[in-house]
Amino acid sequence: MIKLIITDMDGTLLTSDNKLPDGFETVYQQVREAGIQFVVASGRQYYILKQEFEHIDHNILFVAENGGFIDYGKSTLLLNPFSKPDTRELIEAIRKIDGVYPVICGRDSAYIENDDPDFMKEVGVYFVKCQQVDDLTNLDDELLKIAVCDFRNPEFNSYSLLKSFNDRFQVSISSHIWLDIMPLEVNKGEAVRFLQQHLGITAEETMVFGDYLNDCQMMQAAYHSYAMANAHPDLKKVARFRTHSNDDHGVLKTIQEKLLILPE
């Protein structure tokens, strides 16, 4: 019996135009009435996740910043920040890479140095609270993640230059233009295990959905692991099952089919 459903946002639950799929509210309410906890697990900032669902009455639990911040209502269940020396070291390394733009993701806000128009357009999609500062190494906040915007594709550019940090940090490619760096113990898989323990739910009672490489550990934390049809090939190798694409509403269709919830 499924007791916990966890879904990524971009490329998974959201359609390609960054919208919730038609019928989401109906299916969500049916899931809620069945006593199943619904969780959104994303590399996105907590504040934009909260904004996305503020138009509906819900008890959705948010896993933000790839697992660095877990919030439920007015309660913070988990917070895993960087140390300040680690943040400085990483920022200085990123500054040496041509054509990339770092975003420092804090508990209170995101922070940027550059105002390149193309970069600012991407920042506007993923960050509600964001401040431009003179020096990213001098921030007074709990710093949860460093997001690197890489228009050259991080899989072939910035990751090759930052993967040497993998023994000390979690370096994960989250899309074709974003790479995320978190403290070593922070990833969506660890967040799922934390929630399973917190809620008393097993991996066999957990269903997860994802599309990109930062979802790999999450796939390994649940028996019912689904890769979207549009998922990265390497994620498909990790997931146990496949579903339709995000634009074909794969998350909703799988919930309806597997949990016998029929669309109205």
| SS3 annotation, the chain | CCCEEEECHHHHHCCCCCCCCCCHHHHHHHHHHCCCEEEEECCCCHHHHHHHCCCCCCCCEEEEHHHCEEEECCEEEEECCCCHHHHHHHHHHHCCCCCEEEEEEECCCEEECCCCHHHHHHHHHHCCCEEECCCCCCCCCCEEEEEEEECCCCCCCHHHHHHHHHHCEEEEECCCCEEEEEECCCCHHHHHHHHHHHHCCCHHHEEEEECCHHHHHHHHCCCEEEECCCCCHHHHHHCCEECCCCCCCHHHHHHHHHCCCCCC
Among the listed residues 8, 86, 180, 215, the single catalytic one is 8
8 in catalytic set? yes
Report how far Cα 184 is from the mean position of its chain's Cα atoms: 16
Amino acid at 111: Y
The C-alpha atoms of residue 177 and residue 37 are separated, in whole angstroms, by 31
Active site residues: 8
